[in-house]
Each structure stands twice: as C-alpha cells, then as structure tokens.
Amino acid sequence: MRVVAAMSGGVDSAVAAARMLDAGHEVVGVHLALSRSAATLRESARGCCTIEDAGDARRVADRLGIPFYVWDMAERFQRAVMDDFVAEYAAGRTPNPCLRCNESIKFTALLDRAVALGFDAVATGHYAQVVERVGAGGAVVRELHRAVDADKDQSYVLGVLDAEQLSRAFFPLGDTTKPRIREEAAARGFSVAKKPDSYDICFIPDGDTRAWLTTRLGEQPGEIVDATSGEVVGGHQGSYGFTVGQRRGLGLDRSALDGDPRYVVGVDAPTNRVLIGTTDLLGVDVIRADHARWCGPPPAGEVRLGAQVRAHGEEVPAWARVDDAEPEVVHVRLDVRLRGVAPGQSVVLYDGTRVVGSATIASTDRSARGIVEHSMTLNGSG
C-alpha cells in the first residue's frame, strides 16, 4: 500500500512513519506548511509548524530512507481553521481548532491530494486505534476506537472523520503508551526522541487567545451582566474574549458580589454582553448539536451512548437521538449535569471505546429532572 505519512517534526509522527515502513508499506513523508510566515524556532513546547519542525521531519525521513516533501497548505489552513476560529469567537461560540484541522486539512485537503497522486492512505501520529471487523455480507468494516494510553487518547479530535476518510486512515501509535513511543524513537536514533510535545493552539504560540483575537477583532467595550439580577457589574473589551465556564480574568470585585465566585454562563455576541452567575447556573444536561459527522452508520432512534464535550474531559452516560427530518442534528440528554459546556464545542459520542461520531454544540439547556450536578475542569481563559 502507498501511504503518505504526515510528519509534523515531532516524535509521534516520526515513529508512526517508521512503523508504517516496518509494516511493508511504500511510505512518503509529507510535512504540512500551515503558516504563511513560519517562525525559525519554536517557543518552548508551544506551537508547531516552524522551520525547525520541518527540518526535524526531514532528518527523520532521511534516516528512514523515504522521500520527503513539504506541501504548502497555509492558505487553506487560514481559511478553514484560523478564519473559522475568529468567526466562531466573534459569534460568541468556543471552537476547537484541532477538530476543524483534522476535518478540513489532514483528512480532506491532505487526503484528497494524496489520493489524487495515487496514494492509498494517510498515516498520522494521533493516539487512536482503527479496529477492523467483519460486517454484514462479509465486508470489512473499519472502526475508530480510543487509544490504549488514556492520558494521550486523541479519539475526541478525530470524531469528525466519516467512514470514507476512516477507510484511508492509519494511526500506528494507538496500541502503545507515550513513554514507550519515546523509548522506541530513541532506539531508532531519532533526534526528536526527547523533543517536547506541542500543546495549546498551534497558531497562538504564546497561549494568549484573548490577545490574539483582539489584534484581529479590535477592542469592543461592553458590559458584564449578572444573569440573575440583570445588573451591570463590570465591563470588558470584547465578548469574544470569554467562554462559558470561565472564572479567571473577569476583573470583578467579589466583595460586591457577596464574595461568591462568579463564572461566565453565557456570551451574547449581538449585544456584546457577557453574562455571569454562580455555579448553580452552569450545569446543563440537554445538548442540541448540529453539523453531525458519523464514523459509520448514524444511530437509529434514541440510543444509549457515552458523551464527551472536551478533548481531555471525561465521558458521561447519555441518551442520543437523531431525527430523520434533521439528519445533521443530534439531541443529547446527559445523565448528569456538566458545567462549562459552551456552544461551538464538539460533543463526541462513544459506544464503549468506539467513536460513533461527533457534532458541534449549538445550544444547551437544563431539564426539569433532579439529577446530579457534575463538576468539570472549568476554563480559566477565553
């Protein structure tokens, strides 16, 4: 099989390429140039896609003896990921750019180009597993499952893959823990064996999302409003800098609010208002999500599944329902109330370890049922 190995310059994609080669495939390494002005060096462990990263990927490819190319997808990445990120925050939502990148870049633009050039599949260093089973009529069905390493599992950000994309995807690291991957990289003589992992948002290397958005949207002074009383309790320089569940960075005098902590409970972009409230206003157990993407057949009727609303959040039991009249809309009813669930985030549905699919959260609500309030790790920044 002819395979394009997406090589970011990190240790994971290096070992993924090596394993595909060991498995007997014809492998070509490809580094995606996603920045129009790539920095020379990385800022500690933040960010990626620098000239240094491209060089690291090339050195690994040379050591493996495979061809290596750099494909320029900066313009596509700007439109599909960065511009979408700005537009979503401007609309009062909280997007996950990693899901958009996987959907629009790595498993659409990259895969489409690879197939057009005669390749059969794309391999990446994501921590997830593809499990093959025999379906009806003897056909082989490929399923997306969680990785063995729960701490590194990335099945959540891959929940946007449809069945066709999944049929051409390989994730060679899913059966191995991260420490073992580093050991393997060192044994293979890869210079990236001890290279720090990149984290946060790759195109915001300093991690200051609010400042990055301000340079693109400008300051937009508005009011911070108590959701219960309707009282204006503070001001801000742009509602786009806040997300549901946020506690830090509100700039409020807690003594004037009975001393109790306040959280963002809503962002009203049309009025440029940020709504705050106490923890009891945060919990939701009803989710309506659109832009559904299914890794296989969509659920029929109301089914019992697990739901996860953050990349590193925990899965909770839920009921999910898809109506025939709205096949791209998913209604999810959680067994417990989750805090800090924001429109724009993705809800990914699981059947055991298998990823069923995902959808983008459009709205949330509280049912009248008396159920347990469940604390999630709340965002500290917008």
The amino acid present at 297, given as its one-letter code, is P
3-state helix, strand, coil in the chain (%, to 5): 25, 30, 40
Active-site residue 48, yes or no? no
Per DSSP, what are the bridge partners of residue 145? 129, 354
Of all helices (H) and strands (E), which one includes residue 187? Answer: helix 178-187
Q: Supply φ then ψ for residue 304, to 5 degrees.
A: -90, 120
Distance CA 283, CA 372 (A): 9
Active-site residue 101, yes or no? yes
Beta strands, E only, 186-325: 222-226, 232-236, 263-268, 273-277, 284-294, 301-308, 316-323
Distance CA 70, CA 54 (A): 8
The amino acid present at 191, given as its one-letter code, is S
The amino acid present at 175, given as its one-letter code, is D
Name the catalytic one among 48, 49, 98, 101. 101
Name the catalytic one among 48, 98, 202, 295. 202
Distance CA 304, CA 319 (A): 5
Q: Which of the residues are catalytic?
A: 101, 202
